A = this chain, B = another copy of it.
Amino acid sequence: MSQTEEKKYVTYGSCCAGSCGAKGNLTGCRFSLSPMTDRYVEIILEAIGKVHAGKVWQTTDKLSTVYRGKRAHVLDTWKACFVHAWREGVHMTMEATISKGCPGDTDADSYLAEDDELLNEPEIQDIHFPVSCKISLYPMGVENYMEYIAKAVNLSIDMGVYEKSAHYVTILEGDVQDLFRYFKAATASLEQELKHYILEVTLSVNSPTEE
């Protein structure tokens, strides 16, 4: 870039908290799968390929896959991709960002299916395996954000998936079905209470580390 050429800066500064840039009731999930095996490419591509993504907008880039749409369908596709990527004995992590209400968001790149019939749940609802998980919740634009975090953590206690609090995260443990039941309940509550929240989740299976 020459020194006289004008730099193109971003200008999110004109957005305000609470004024979601997307008009629709739009939830998004960006996730990165990391199977720790030489066969990671095959596992990732197979899992993404098995997901019925007809009711969400989707894209896959170098770093992640993104699903955007109605909350129920975004959670359904996210869960399906994780379940389909699980392999007996293979250590894998999935880092996921669930987000709703960002002032910088737009209505582009989304698809809001009219009905709530889940395309993936019937295929995956009877698959069980244990998952370790860390979550961090970021309620944006509010001073009393710790109250929302405490409420979300206490919901995990009520639903039997809370393991412990740790630096910067809450640790959850449970069967994959129970954990995603929690994500469904937690996000349902969060979207009622907050204009903009982000839930960061890292799921881990088959870790060789005992604690």
Contact = CB atoms under 8 A, between A and B. Distances in A.
B136 A13 contact: no
Nearest to A173: B62
A150 B10 contact: yes
A68 to B, nearest CB: 7
A171 interface: yes
Interface residues of A, number: 72
A147 to B, nearest CB: 4
Copies in the complex: 2
Interface in A126-161: 132, 134, 136, 138, 140-147, 149-151, 153-154, 157-158
15 contacts: A10-B150, A10-B153, A13-B147, A14-B146, A16-B144, A30-B167, A34-B34, A62-B132, A63-B202, A66-B167, A68-B167, A95-B95, A97-B168, A99-B168, A141-B143
Interface of A: 7-17, 28, 30, 32, 34-38, 40-41, 59, 61-64, 66, 68, 91, 93, 95, 97, 99, 102-105, 109, 132, 134, 136, 138, 140-147, 149-151, 153-154, 157-158, 165-169, 171, 198, 200, 202, 204, 207-211
